[in-house]
């Protein structure tokens, strides 16, 4: 994955990015650390954490927050929605078509100029539904 986009990155940042891109999941910082360590043994958590911040600011990954204590990292950069399981915490991507009326309503109520809306479905995943 020595493409142009990532060729200017340090090997630590590349390892972090690769960990995220190779995972199907939305990883927490600690999970990213575990992936990056497999690619680059000896990388520290602090380095991973700083790399995550850098990659996010560069627009190479996305950070998604679910409450104060749950931040995950997403390789998918375009607008999409998520479903999260209340029982096991499983998080999956989904794509919904957001009705124009909802965006307008949200803009009206918040008095914000509308950019985009992302929705999070919370419920029980197929495994937890039993």
Spatial contact of 83 and 91, defined as CB atoms under 8 Å apart:
yes
Single out the segment in contact with Zn ion by CB under 5 A; choices: 3-11, 33-41, 80-88, 107-115: 80-88
Contact between 44 and Zn ion (CB under 5 A)? no
Single out the segment in contact with Zn ion by CB under 5 A; choices: 13-21, 50-58, 75-83, 110-118: 75-83
Q: Helix 11-21 to helix 45-57 angle, to the nearest 10 degrees?
A: 80
Nearer Cβ to Zn ion, position 14 or 75?
75
**Structural tokens at position 16:** 């972090």
Residue with the two structure tokens 């520290």: 44
**Structural tokens at position 97:** 């078509």
Cα–Cα distance for residue pair 87/125, rounded to 1 Å: 8
Contact between 61 and Zn ion (CB under 5 A)? no
Site for Zn ion (CB under 5 A): which residue of 1, 88, 94, 96? 88
In the complex, which residues of this chain contact Zn ion (CB under 5 A)? 74, 76, 85, 87-88, 90, 93, 125, 128
């Amino acid at each position: 994955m020595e493409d142009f986009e990532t060729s200017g990155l340090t090997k630590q940042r590349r390892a972090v990015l690769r960990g995220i891109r190779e995972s199907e999941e939305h990883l927490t910082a600690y999970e990213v650390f575990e992936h990056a360590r497999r690619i680059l043994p000896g990388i520290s958590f602090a380095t991973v954490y700083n790399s995550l911040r850098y990659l996010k600011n560069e627009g190479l990954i996305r950070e998604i927050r679910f409450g104060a204590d749950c931040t995950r990292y997403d390789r998918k950069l375009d607008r999409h929605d998520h479903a999260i399981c209340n029982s096991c915490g499983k998080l999956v991507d989904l794509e919904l078509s957001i009705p124009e009326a909802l965006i307008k309503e949200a803009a009206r109520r918040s008095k914000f100029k509308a950019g985009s809306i992302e929705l999070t479905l919370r419920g029980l995943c197929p495994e937890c539904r039993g």
